[in-house]
Amino acid sequence: MQLTNQKRLAAKILKCGENRVWINPDYIDEVASSVQADDIREFIEEGLIRAKAVKGTSRVRARTRQEQRRKGRQKGQGKRMGTANARNPRKNRWMRTIRSQRRALKDLREADEITPSQYRRYYLKAKGGSYRSIAHMRSQMTMEGVSLKEGDN
């Protein structure tokens, strides 16, 4: 059963490669007997000849790995390529902490919990890296006698 010519014609009509042409195995004799492109077109309309779907790269494994990483798995020593600073840069860490501290100071000033002079003092201390976090900054303020409302963070 020579189907090379039929596959070639079908590939041309379907605008795909010859390897993607699928011929129904139950009707191979009828397809083999057809010679003209019109006959092939009829078989395509009937669904006896089809173009197979394009195979892509499966994302299943990638998705499962991503889920695991979100849970904190697969992040051990053996999986790390960059330095700690490359993975979580010092600058980004600093920006995160200082911005949150400055935001907290601004809120305290606007709520009249601290005076503008106190704001300036704690702002400069924060800039100097005196505080690890907002909670640390607030505890230092209370130790220094600044009365803050509880619950505000």
pLDDT for the residue numbered 147: 86
pLDDT for the residue numbered 152: 52
Residues of the chain with CATH 1.10.1650.10: 4-51
Taking the model in full, what pTM does it have?
A: 0.60
Report which of 105, 92, 111, 101 is spatially closest to residue 134, judged by C-alpha positions: 101
Q: Residue 69 above 90 pLDDT? A: yes
- Of the CATH numbers 1.10.287.110, 3.40.50.300, 1.10.10.10, 1.10.1200.60, which one belongs to the domain with range 89-143? 1.10.1200.60
- Of the CATH numbers 3.40.50.300, 3.40.50.2000, 2.60.34.10, 1.10.1650.10, which one belongs to the domain with range 4-51? 1.10.1650.10
Contact (CB, 8 A) for 24 and 48? yes
